[in-house]
Amino acid sequence: MKYILPFWLILFCCTILSFVYKPNDIQRCFINSIDTGYYIIIDKSDFELKVYDSEGWYATYPIVFGSNDQSDKMYQGDRKTPNGTYSIIVKKIHPKWGSELLLNYPNEEDVLKFKNRLSTGKIPRSSKIGDGIAIHGTRPQEEWTIDNNYNWTDGCISLKYTEMKDLYSYISVGTKVTIQP
C-alpha cells in the first residue's frame, strides 16, 4: 500500500522552506549550474543586443530601452535600464508584446547599490528598488520604435516583435545577460 502525504503536511513543509530559503538563493542554486551554450551582451550606447555562443559572435539585434538617459537604474519608476550581469529566470508569452525573457533584477549587487544610494541621499527615501526587468518585443504594429531608437519601455530591453520571436526560440532559462553602458 502506498503512503500518501496529507495535503496539510505538504503545505506546512513548503511554508517552512519559504522562510528558510530566499527566492534569490534558490534561483542562484539552479541558474548558476546551467550552461545554456549562449550568452548575451547588451550595449546601451550602441542600441544592440549581441548573442554569443561557444564559437563567438552569433547574432545582433537592434534594441531600445526606457529612458533616453542611459545611466544605471536608480529606483523603481525612473524608466532606466540597469547595468550589470543577470540571468534569464523565466520565459513567457506576454499578452501585449509576445515573447518575454525575465531577468533576475534586482540581484545582490543591485540591492547593495540601491541601499548605498538611499543612505547617501542620492535617491528619495521613499524610493523602491523595483523589479520585472525583461527582454521583450514591441507590439506587432510598433516595430518602428526600434528603427527610430524610440525608448518606450519602463526600463526593459525591447526588440522588434518578429526578432524577439527568433531570439526566444533558442535562448533558454539560465542564459547570462550582461548590460553595459
Q: Which residues contact 166 (CB under 8 A, 6 or more apart)?
A: none
Residue 32 grid cell: 548558476
d(CA 90, CA 168): 11
Do the Cβ atoms of 10 and 19 come closer than 8 Å? no
Residue 28 pLDDT: 38
Quick: pLDDT tens for 83-105.
999 999 999 999 988 999 999 99
For the domain 22-180, what is the CATH superfamily, name and number?
A: L,D-transpeptidase catalytic domain-like (2.40.440.10)
Q: What angle do CA 70, 71, 76 make, to 5 degrees?
A: 100
Residue 8 pLDDT: 42
Task: Tell whether the model's pLDDT for residue 25 goes beyond 80.
Answer: no
Q: How confident is the model at residue 114 (pLDDT cuts 50, 70, 90)?
A: very high
Residue 165 grid cell: 520571436
Do the Cβ atoms of 133 and 82 come closer than 8 Å? yes
Quick: pLDDT tens for 43-52.
999 999 999 9
CB-based burial of residue 147 (10 Å sphere; 0-12 exposed, 13-18 middle, 19+ buried)? exposed
Phi, psi of 122 (to 5 degrees): -75, -20
